[in-house]
Amino acid sequence: MRTPIDTGDTAWMLVSTAFVLMMTIPGLALFYGGMVRKKNVLATLIQSFMICCIGSLVWMVAGYSLAFSTGSPWIGDLSRVMLHGVADNFRDGVDSAFTLGAGTAAAVPMTIPESVYMMFQMTFAVITPALITGAYAERMKFSSMCLFTVAWLLLVYAPVAHWVWSPTGWVAGLGAVDFAGGTVVHINSGVAGLVCAIILGRRKGVGTEDLSPFNLTYAIIGASLLWVGWFGFNAGSALGANGRAGMAMLTTQVAAAAGGVAWMIVEWARTGKPTALGIISGAVAGLVAITPAAGFVLPGSAVVIGLIAGAGCFWSATWLKHRFGYDDSLDAFGVHGTGGIIGAILTGAFAYGPLSATSSNPVGTVASVHQVLAQIEAVGVTVVWCVIMTTVILKVLDLAMGLRVSPEEELEGLDMVLHGERIN
C-alpha cells in the first residue's frame, strides 16, 4: 500500500533544504571570504561555490547510496547509485512517502518523499567539506581541493553519516545520538581541517606579517546568513513540521546567543576589547555545539551548552592553536571541531527524554552517565576514522600532484595565481 506524503512536513523540509543550502552559498562563502586577505578573497569565495557543485554531484552519483541505503552496519550498498529507484513511488505524477532502512528491523517510516530527504541530506554533504576550507585557506591548490573534496566525501563523510544516521548504522546501535550533525558534520570537518592545517603547514608570514581580515563586513553578513540558515539545519532535522522542530529552533536560537555572549565576555576580559570577529565566532560556536543536541535538550540546557561552547572555542582558537603552532587559518577546528565535541558530549549530559520519546521507545534519550559514555565513544570513532582517512587522502594527493601553491604564488595571492582575477 502506498503511503501518502504529509504536505505540511514536505513543505517544511523543502524550506529547510533551501535554508541549509544558503548556509554554504552565500553564508559560509562570505563568512570565510571576509576573514582572508584581499588577494585571496575571490579564491576563498569560489571554494565554497565549487564545493557546492562538486558535492551535489558526488552525493547524487554515489554518496547518498553509500550513506543511506541499507548495506551493512559499516557502509551502505550501491542500490541508490545515480539515484536509482528514487522515483519508483511515483504514480500519475504523485510521489508517496518512503521508508528509511526498508526491509530491516530498524526501518523508519517517513512522511516525505525520498527525493526531498535525499536533497536535504545533500545540503549537509555540501557544507561539510566547505567548512574544512577554513583550515587550509590561502594556500591549497584549487585542483587539489577539488579532488580532495570528491575523495573525502566518499571515504570519510559517507561512512560516518551511515554509522550515525542510518537506522542500521553501528554507531547508532551503540545508543549514541546526533540530532543534526555534531559528529557527522562538525567534528568530521573540524578534525579534517586540523589534519589539513598540519600537513600543509603554516601560511607564509604567520606571526611576522599582518594577516588581518580584508573585510569583516562580509564575515558578519556571512555569519548572519549562517545563523538564519541553521534553523533549517537543526529544526529541519526533525524531518517534519512538528513540536520537536519548534523546540529545535528555540534551542538553536538561545545557544547561538549564549555562544556570542560567552566569547565576547572572555575576549573582553582577556584583551580589553570585544571584537566583531570574536562575537560572530562565538555565535557560530554556539550554533555548532547545539547541533547534535537541538532536538534532545530544553532551552535552559541549550543556554548552558552555548556558554560553554563560546568560552571553550575561544580557548581552542587562541591558546590551543598558539600552544601547538598549527595554522588553522579561519579556525575550522577551533570552532567546528571543538564546538562539535563539546555539543556531542553535553547532549548526553542534558538530554530530556520526552522530546525524543516514541511509541517504540516511550522513555526517549535521557541524560545519564551511560549516555555520556556513548556520546564520547561516538566522538572517538569519528575522530579516529577522520584522522586516518583524511591523512591518507592528503598524502596520496600530495604525491600525485602536490597540495600547496609555491611560496611565490602564495605571496602573489590565489585570486590571480589560480583564477586570473582580482578585486580592484
Extents of the domains making up the chain: 7-419
Contact 352, 296 (CB under 8 A): yes
Dist CA 285 CA 183 (whole Å): 14
Dist CA 307 CA 285 (whole Å): 9
Q: Tell me, what's the pLDDT at 22? A: 98
CA angle 99, 105, 107 (to 5 degrees): 15
The number of CA neighbours under 13 Å toward the Cβ of 311 is 10
Q: Tell me, what's the pLDDT at 152? A: 98
CA angle 159, 86, 168 (to 5 degrees): 35
Query: Helix (H, G, I), strand (E, B), or coil: what is residue 108?
Result: strand
- Stated as kind and residue range, the H or E segment containing 184 is none
Residue with the three cell numbers 600530495: 398
End-to-end Cα, the chain, rounded Å: 62
Contact 415, 182 (CB under 8 A): no
Q: pTM here?
A: 0.96
Conformational region of residue 385, where left means phi above 0, alpha means psi within -120 to 50, and beta covers everything else: alpha
Q: Tell me, what's the pLDDT at 3? A: 76
Peptide bond just before 407 cis, omega within 30 deg: no
Q: Read off the C-alpha cell for 133.
A: 576550507
Residue with the three cell numbers 553564508: 27
> Alpha helix (H) ranges present in 34-187?
41-58, 64-68, 114-132, 142-152, 158-165, 170-173
Q: Tell me, what's the pLDDT at 89? A: 85
Q: Does domain 7-419 have CATH number 3.30.1370.60?
A: no
Q: Tell me, what's the pLDDT at 1? A: 52
Other residues' Cβ atoms within 10 Å of the Cβ of residue 4: 10
Q: Tell me, what's the pLDDT at 210? A: 87
One digit per residue, the tens of pLDDT, for the chain of length 424 reads 567 899 999 999 999 999 999 999 999 999 999 999 999 999 999 999 999 999 999 999 999 999 999 999 999 999 999 999 999 888 888 899 999 998 898 899 999 999 999 999 999 999 999 999 999 999 999 999 999 999 999 999 999 999 999 999 999 999 999 999 999 999 999 999 999 999 999 999 898 888 999 999 999 999 999 999 999 999 999 999 999 999 999 999 999 999 999 999 999 999 999 999 999 999 999 999 999 999 999 999 999 999 999 999 999 999 999 999 999 999 999 999 999 999 999 999 999 999 999 888 899 999 999 999 999 999 999 999 999 999 999 999 999 999 999 999 999 999 999 999 999 8
Query: Helix (H, G, I), strand (E, B), or coil: what is residue 100?
Result: strand
CA neighbor of 290 nearest in space, from 240, 243, 248: 248
